[in-house]
Structure 1
Amino acid sequence: MDLRIFTEPQQGATYDTLLTVAKATEDLGFDAFFRSDHYLRMGSSDGLPGPTDAWITLAGLARETRRIRLGTLMTAGTFRLPGVLAIQVAQVDQMSGGRVELGLGAGWFEEEHKAYGIPFPKEKFDRLEEQLAIVTGLWGTEVGATFTHDGTYYQLVDSPALPKPAQAKVPVLIGGHGAKRTPRLAARYADEFNIPFASVEDSERQFGRVRAAAEQAGRRGDDLVYSNALVVCVGRDEAEIKQRAAAIGRDVDDLRANGLAGSPAEVVDKIGRYGAIGSSRIYLQVLDLDDLDHLELISAQVQSQL
């Protein structure tokens, strides 16, 4: 089971804070550092000092780290034109020596689009399908050949399809709870399918849909990596668990039911339940980015048992 650190910087984090967490992620033996792609805080957080851009952040971290994978859960398709996104991700992959992964979603948070003047189209999912075709098509075009796409929303004519990523294949992540279109898109384009904030039972059901869609598309169901994203809140005792839950404004009972919360032994047991239904990777959503002791505890007493 791979454990990855997943951050939500729109809630309030500077680049220096993210760099500190990314370096701790590397030093403590976690597999990867991922971040959300949002420009507006959610809930009661004041969001200070303001948002950071996902791919600018990852470009900086690419030069400041050496081992960990770097990526997004999920880049919002509404934020970037697909040709530009393909260039950005390829460049950051080169900067990292081939450690980048692209999680790409349709975009959903209308308020942040209004706040920063970003169009919020109705046909987001249809656009996402074209974006996936374009990004993967540009990367898959041989050097010296050109790429053309005549779609409903995007047209590319004789693109040189450059630059190329350092990796022969940048892993593409697709995720969500949709019962039909999401599994179909994952079957066609994804290397990894991620389901966020879902129970073991709901995860098993959705993984089954994706496996079935992959087989219908001519792939083996196990060609994809299956993963979960869950809020994490671990403590050495009940007082520490409650303290960490209070720091992120969450209820302990809710976190135990819907996330990974409790003692290290409780969390290891629950991760095992996800592993039993086919999940091989957990994105630990860390909401208090100043609590590095939390990461040290997870590394020493949770990750060490996996």
Structure 2
Amino acid sequence: MTKLGIIGGSGIYQMAGVENAQWETVETPWGAPSDAILTGQLHGTDVAFLPRHGRGHVYTPTNVPYRANIDALKRIGVTDIISVSACGSFQDHMAPGDFVLVDQFIDRTFAREKSFFGTGCVGHVSVAHPTCGRLSDACLQAGTDAGITMHTCGTYLAMEGPQFSSAAESKLYKSWGCDVIGMTNMPEAKLAREAEICYITVAMVTDYDSWHPDHGAVDVSDVIRTLQGNGTKAADLISRLPALLDQRPTTCPHGCDTALEHAIMTAPDHRDINLVAKLDAVAGRVL
């Protein structure tokens, strides 16, 4: 049974159209998530909406409690996560207002906890293909039907922030073949994989970063204006997903929900019982 989790990025702090809506406080062993979680039904499908930065945008990209957020969504039964995120573009044809479905990441963050596992319970999860193709296909159809210009197979450069990149950095990342740049989808995507939750990033382009000859710097006022329009488009895309995702396969054809099958390396008699207890929601299936 599908329970759709929506993580709202910059400019998306509410979710309209949810029936029986209530804000639910979820406690996790990793601390408090960014905010309470809005639960209810969207066109008959159970949904859970979490504003990544908190309502009012209180968390910086570095300080978002990523582990608590993913644990909380897993704990309440979320099976599929749609991560909606603002981003800059490195490609002329990926213009402000377009949406990019990300299937690869380059992680340049350095000040964040990136795994649920650690000393006393070591786990190695593959993120060779970090997003779910089934969710990508559904988002592509939903976005296209909503009249949004959609791009697929995007590579997302995750930077630490909160400052935007320098022109030299922007040109370097473009030369690497990256398509978009953002500050929040790492370690979020890695943690979703560790939690065996299907995950896709819907990257909403707000600007051309600082590489573009006609855009020497990111103008926050322009970004905010584009964010507002993107928020409306994102709501339209999301509203179309329940009809496309209501028939969930028993197992994910891309292996998202079995990512931990052979990942735990620490022998059972050497595992830290305290860490194992913290992993009850995330890794309870294999522990």
- Which of structures 1 and 2 has the larger relative contact order (alpha carbons within 8 angstroms, sep 6+)? 2
TM-score, structure 2 as length reference = 0.29
Q: Which has the higher helix share?
A: 1
Larger-gyration structure (1/2): 1
> Normalised by the size of structure 1, how large is the TM-score?
0.28
